[in-house]
């Protein structure tokens, strides 16, 4: 008998796994990270048994991950010399180093995201019509003033990820998801970052808008109040009975607020107060007892010394957060440019999670928020709204049909899908 030793992933490899997972999902990223780290120390390729031990994954996930990584050209299969009779064991090594593997993973992931969009939203596949646009420039319409939720896109710009894939990205800011969608509808922008409900309402109104990625996996809409305005601590939906709820009509937060109410048994016992501008002003003036807003809005009141309570909409109903959407024709005419943008944004997402500093500083320089506030917003968004089973399995931005179907059905049942 003799002892054998095996390389095993540990905490020092976590950053590598995290970066690769943005484009691959957790399991495939763990397998590729193991092969990359092992290749730095061993000349021989790794067998399936070595991968099982080194990644602490079972045989079936290893097999699925290896098949996918081979198909994407990220690993190469070979065999090990074997003195015994029979077929020599298969073994694998990475096709490139870490930097190249990461770059190619994001590139392949971008293509998969576009394929996913076609499968879910497009009747005619893009290969039925040739790509006609060779331009690499894209105008991206964001759904609000510069803030922490935009960190991944600015991170991609600051770290030259868009340059890496050949995309020339111009970023512009607008007051709300509807404004961003209008820019795309009017062909004044190529890409919109907009709430999922706004995207579905635009499609129902006849705008051929398609989501090509989900920027954040959960909506960030809240119903919130100041304790002195509400009169007691807001802890449950039942406390909304008989209350006035302020919301901006046709805004993403307003639509999701109405959807939230429509899903309760209290709809007839709640008064909707339409507001303009900042919803929290309705609290301070006494026009509303509760208002809708984004996750960052309660913090604005807390800075004024208020005690604030909030109900999170997605604690009660699964809804996608901000999505990346384009006019359907761009899947045919500008597919390469869209793939470059998505690949670059994946790189920006990975960089932002590990070090948001450069993007935070850029946003603070052009916006109204202090760097600490920008960072805090992004870090909370990632922790509370950025992840899902879909992203753990397939990587950043992945979308599932059933989540869209649930939201579409709920909006329709609440008479919100085609409402003015």
3-state secondary structure of 340: helix
Task: Please report, for residues 18, 263, 269, the alpha-carbon distance to residue 156 in angstroms, rounded to integers and kept in the order given.
Answer: 16, 38, 47
pLDDT (0 to 100) of residue 276 = 82
Burial of residue 135 (CB within 10 Å: 0-12, 13-18, 19+) is exposed
pLDDT, averaged across the chain: 94
When the candidates are 3.40.50.300, 3.40.50.11740, 3.40.190.10, 3.40.1350.10, the CATH number that belongs to 222-315 is: 3.40.190.10
pLDDT (0 to 100) of residue 312 = 93
What are residue 198's DSSP bridge partners? none
Q: What is the pTM of this model?
A: 0.94
CA angle 76/80/86 to nearest 5° reads 120
Tokens of 240: 């909304």
Report, as ranges of residue numbers, the positions in the chain whose pLDDT lies below 70. Answer: 82-86, 125-134, 277, 419-420
Residues of the chain with CATH 1.10.10.10: 11-79+88-96
CATH class, domain 11-79+88-96, is: mainly alpha
pLDDT per position as a tens digit, 206-236: 999 999 999 999 999 999 999 999 999 999 9
Tokens of 360: 């935070």
What letter would DSSP give residue 269? G
pLDDT (0 to 100) of residue 376 = 97
Tokens of 21: 């997972």
Residues of the chain with CATH 3.40.190.10: 129-218+319-413, 222-315
pLDDT (0 to 100) of residue 398 = 99
3-state secondary structure of 22: helix
Task: Please tell me the CATH superfamily of domain 129-218+319-413, with its number.
Answer: Periplasmic binding protein-like II (3.40.190.10)
């Amino acid at each position: 008998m003799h002892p054998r030793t095996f390389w095993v992933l540990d905490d020092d490899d976590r950053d590598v796994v995290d970066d690769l997972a943005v484009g691959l999902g957790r399991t495939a990223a763990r397998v590729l990270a193991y092969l990359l780290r092992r290749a730095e120390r061993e000349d021989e390729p790794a067998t399936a048994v070595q991968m099982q031990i080194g990644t602490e994954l079972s045989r079936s996930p290893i097999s699925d991950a290896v098949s996918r990584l081979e198909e994407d050209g990220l690993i190469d299969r070979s065999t090990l010399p074997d003195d015994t009779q029979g077929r020599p064991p298969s073994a694998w090594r990475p096709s490139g180093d870490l930097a190249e593997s990461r770059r190619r993973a994001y590139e392949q992931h971008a293509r998969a995201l576009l394929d996913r969009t076609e499968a879910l939203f497009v009747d005619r596949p893009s290969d039925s019509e040739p790509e006609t646009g060779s331009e690499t420039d894209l105008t991206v319409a964001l759904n609000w003033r510069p803030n922490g939720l935009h960190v991944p896109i600015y991170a991609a710009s600051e770290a030259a990820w868009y340059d890496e894939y050949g995309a020339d990205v111009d970023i512009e800011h607008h007051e709300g998801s509807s404004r961003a969608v209008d820019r795309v509808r009017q062909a004044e922008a190529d890409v919109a970052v907009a709430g999922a409900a706004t995207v579905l309402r635009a499609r129902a109104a006849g705008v051929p808008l398609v989501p090509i990625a989900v920027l954040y996996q959960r909506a960030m809409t809240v119903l919130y109040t100041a304790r002195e305005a509400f009169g007691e601590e807001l802890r449950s939906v039942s406390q909304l009975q008989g209350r006035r709820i302020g919301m901006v009509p046709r805004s993403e937060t307003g639509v999701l607020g109405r959807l939230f109410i429509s899903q309760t048994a209290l709809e007839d016992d709640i008064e909707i107060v339409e507001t303009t501008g900042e919803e929290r002003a309705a609290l301070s003036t006494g026009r509303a007892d509760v208002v809708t807003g984004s996750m960052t809005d309660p913090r604005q009141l807390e800075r004024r010394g208020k005690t604030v309570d909030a109900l999170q909409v997605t604690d009660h109903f699964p809804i996608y957060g901000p999505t990346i959407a384009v006019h359907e024709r761009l899947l045919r005419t500008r597919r390469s440019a869209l793939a470059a943008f998505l690949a670059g944004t994946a790189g920006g997402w990975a960089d932002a999670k590990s070090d948001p500093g450069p993007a935070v500083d850029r946003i603070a320089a052009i916006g109204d928020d202090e760097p600490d506030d920008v960072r805090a917003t992004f870090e909370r968004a990632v922790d509370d709204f950025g992840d899902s089973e879909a992203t753990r399995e397939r990587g950043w931005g992945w979308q599932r049909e059933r989540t869209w179907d649930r939201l579409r059905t709920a909006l329709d049942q609440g008479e919100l899908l085609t409402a003015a």
